Amino acid sequence: MAIDKSAEQHLEQWLVHCSNADQRAISLDDTDFYRYVWGRWIAYLLTARNGSNEQAIGWIDAKPEDVTGFLQEGIQRKKEQVSLITKRRYWRLLERVYDYAIDRGLVSVNPARSVADGEIPAQENPLGAILNPKQWDAALALLDVAVDSAEVRATEIRNRALLRVLFELGLTPAEIRSIDLHSFIDDGEGQGGLIKIRTGNANALRQLDISETTAQAVREWIAVRSRAGKHASTNALFSANTGKPMTDETLLSLVRLHLTRACAAAGLEPPIRLGPQIIRNSLLVKWMLDGIPQPEVALRAGLKNARCLNHLRIHLPDGPRLKLAAAAARKDNAPLLRSAA
């Protein structure tokens, strides 16, 4: 299949444009996802809508019905049901990229924006979903169940270490993937350690404390991974069985299985969302409810400023909730910077 270089170039120019934009900016950590979605869209067009069309379609010639077909058929994978949230994210990306194409004079009509209202995937609730306290406790309790490492597969030891880190630090999928062997700093005294996290925004490097329990889980995985097939051939701390960094799909499956098992063991209904983001949201809310100042929570999370927490305000009492709402209403969008020690 031929590669449409003009499509690749347009996406890269859009990514640069968004990284410099004052509004609707994107995190550099999300660029791999955008490239992946755009690549699938272009492949769908170049294969003539998976063979349903008579000839290949150029990206600048795409029509609303091509977008509809892509959302209905082009993103299906292994007969799994694609969620409305995923479809909305794909549609939203196409809408934004084609808006930029209009600004550049490359197209006159945005095919994603021209899709009939009934065919546009419903918008996700903008207020972030979180685990309720019983679900959170059940998920942590399952991690505390004692296991004999000698009888546990390497993948399960990796998963336990990854989940420990995720529940303690609330990292994004991109940040989880970015952790390598040098990111983990062991204090060597049985008192925990640090994990260095690189992000694409103003807080480019964060050093986050982890408890001894989490540090021990990471140590166990490091000891096992050197003998665990292709895991030993990569520098990524939490690699896939192929030796490559874990994908969003792998992380989603891992977290979904853990939360489902934890809730089942506790006799609870599973949460409305089952991916890494609900763990992150839950931890950020927990920190704010524990009295940690909102700017400090934003710094811990690698966010630009406290305004980025506004989607979680519904889970807070009046005082912190109103403070977040006020922060979101301000025009001042300067990034938070931790002062030098």
pLDDT the model gives residue 333: 47
Which superfamily is assigned to 133-278 in CATH? Intergrase catalytic core (1.10.443.10)
Q: What is the mean pLDDT of residues 288-309?
A: 88
C-beta of residue 298 within 8 angstroms of C-beta of residue 338: no
Radius of gyration (C-alpha) of the chain in whole angstroms: 22
Dump pLDDT digits (tens) for 253-283: 889 899 999 998 888 888 877 889 999 999 9
Q: Measured between alpha carbons, how far is 333 from 341 in angstroms, rounded to an integer?
A: 24
Q: Which of 2-6, 51-55, 88-92, 118-122 has the lowest mean pLDDT?
A: 2-6
Highest mean pLDDT pick, 71-85, 167-181, 184-198, 298-312: 167-181
Would you kindly state where each structural domain of the chain is located, as residue ranges? 5-119, 133-278
How many Cα neighbours within 13 Å face the side chain of 186?
Answer: 13
Question: Does the pLDDT of residue 126 top 60, yes or no?
Answer: no
| pTM greater than 0.85 (yes/no) | no
Dump pLDDT digits (tens) for 93-123: 999 999 999 999 999 999 999 988 778 887 6
Q: Measured between alpha carbons, how far is 27 from 150 in angstroms, rounded to an integer?
A: 41
Q: Which residues pair with 198 in a beta bridge?
A: 205
Which superfamily is assigned to 5-119 in CATH? Tyrosine recombinase, N-terminal domain (1.10.150.130)
Q: Which residues pair with 119 in a beta bridge?
A: none
Dump pLDDT digits (tens) for 211-251: 999 999 999 999 888 888 888 778 889 988 888 878 888 88
